[in-house]
Each structure stands twice: as structure tokens, then as C-alpha cells.
Amino acid sequence: MTESQKLPPRLTTLSFHSPLSEPRAASLIERAAAEAPSTVLDIGCGWGELMLRVLEAVPGARGTGVDLNGEDLARGRTNAAARGLADRVEFLEKSATDAALDPADLVFCLSASHALSGAEPPRLTTEALRALRGLVTPGGRVVFADGYWQRPPTPQELGAMWPDARADEYDGLAGLVDRAVAAGFRPVWIETANRDEWETFESGYQSDQEVWLAGHPDHPLAEETREKLDRHRSSWLRGYRDVLGIAYLTLVPVD
């Protein structure tokens, strides 16, 4: 492949495709592993880093990751092989709604509600939680990450976010937890991403391509990449920074 044909790299500096720090991830994994799950399911898994770490912590557990991004799944398979986990994990390039998945003892769904429902938010969150209720075994755990408003966004902030952003797309944190309870769960643990986690994620989300763009200003893909990067950065800094939060809810299904 010639230099002019090379595509910009992506997400190589991120351990997780989420505003999730190593200390928070370690706590999530410790609590999940304490339940000794024998099966782990990761919806919208990306490269499935949390799932792989749980499999390392729980010998004999088996995992299934489902995603539509083949590049991320390939990264997950490579990481699994490097850790000696290839025979205990399967990465499926499928839609979660079409994959005929069996319920698991531990289910991850991290900012991937869209993988379980085609509804518009906030109904999307409700439908995803209802689907997750059917994908966890009795007494199991669901680790669910989703957005919430830290405060009501202003019209100017909404205008700087994604296209057609609406103030009613998300609840506050209490409303998000209420949706989980209404879907048949009790919240075992409630935590939220802090600003440092957001800044690490947002910077890491762009950094590979920013470095690539600086070194390839005349590449055929440079203009498209520059526009995408500038648009995303503006959306974050002018729109949802300190407005949109991410909650990590550890949920147990009600019998």
C-alpha cells in the first residue's frame, strides 16, 4: 500500500471506547468478577476490552462480543489471542437484534442502546433496558452505560451538538435510573464519568487522526478528515462538554 492509499489510524490510544478511566474500569471488573459469572455478553462491544478483562479475572468464564464494526472486532480477536483467551471468547460481526443471543450471567452494554432498538431517544433507552432484561440470567448483572443531562442544555449548546439535538433526548441521572427500575432492575451501583475521563476520551478519540492530518496535509483524504475532526471537536467544546454525562449503572434483575 502506498503512502497516498493509507487511511488515518483510529482509536489506538484508547483502552475503552467510552469515557472510562483505568481505576473505574478496575472497580467495575472487581465487582463483576466477584459474582463469578460463567458467561459474559458484550453488546456493541467494539474490541471488548472490559469483557476480556473479566475473562482474565474469572478463569473458565466464556464471552461473546457483538458489534458491526469489523475493524474493532479484529482488534478484539487479536487482543484475545495475545492474552490466551481466544478459545474462551467469540466476536460476532452481527446486529445484536439479529444474533439470537442466549442470556448471560454478566451483560455489558456501554453506550450501545442503539444496538438493541431503533427507537428515537429517550424511548431508545427504555427499549434497550427492556431488551437487556431478557438477556441476563436470574441473579446476574447488567453493566449499562448511557447518556444523561448533567443540566438542561441551552439552545446555543443544542445547536452546537449533533444534528437535530433535542433537550428531551436524555433524562437527568435520576430519570435514567428510574427507567432502569421500570424495566425490571434494581440499581446495585450508580456512578458517572468525571471531566478527566471525558477529556481523556474525547482527546483520544481524535488524537490518532489529528497527528496523521498534521503529517499528511495534502493527502486525498485530508480535507474530509479535517472537516470531520473540526466538526466533532466543535460539537464537544461548544455543545455537550459539561452538559452531557455518561452514567455507569450496575443492575440486577428483579425476580
Please indicate, yes or no, if residue 119 is contained in any of the structural domains.
yes
Q: Which amino acid is at 200?
A: T
The CA-based dihedral angle spanning residues 35, 38, 44, 46, taken in that order and rounded to the nearest 10 degrees: 100
Residue 57 has pLDDT above 60, yes or no: yes
Please indicate, yes or no, if residue 239 is contained in any of the structural domains.
no
Please indicate, yes or no, if residue 28 is contained in any of the structural domains.
yes
CATH of the domain at 105: 3.40.50.150
Residue 51 has pLDDT above 90, yes or no: yes
Residue 24 cell numbers, joined: 473505574
Are 188 and 250 within 8 A, CB to CB?
A: yes
**Which residues have a Cβ under 8 Å from the Cβ of 22 and sit 6 or more positions away?**
15
Please indicate, yes or no, if residue 73 is contained in any of the structural domains.
yes
DSSP 8-state symbol, 239? I
Model-wide pTM > 0.85: yes
What are the pLDDT digits (tens) for 131-148? 999 999 999 999 999 999
**Which residues have a Cβ under 8 Å from the Cβ of 46 and sit 6 or more positions away?**
17, 67, 69, 72, 76
Give the pLDDT mean for 208-218.
96
Domain of 52 in residue numbering reads as 16-149+166-194+244-253
Please indicate, yes or no, if residue 71 is contained in any of the structural domains.
yes
Domain count of the fold of the chain = 1
Closest by CA to 91, choosing from 150, 125, 40, 136, is: 40
Give the pLDDT mean for 95-124.
95
Residue 47 has pLDDT above 70, yes or no: yes
Closest by CA to 61, choosing from 82, 95, 34, is: 34
What are the pLDDT digits (tens) for 150-200? 999 999 999 999 999 999 999 999 999 999 999 999 999 999 999 999 999
Please indicate, yes or no, if residue 199 is contained in any of the structural domains.
no
Percent of the chain with pLDDT over 90: 95
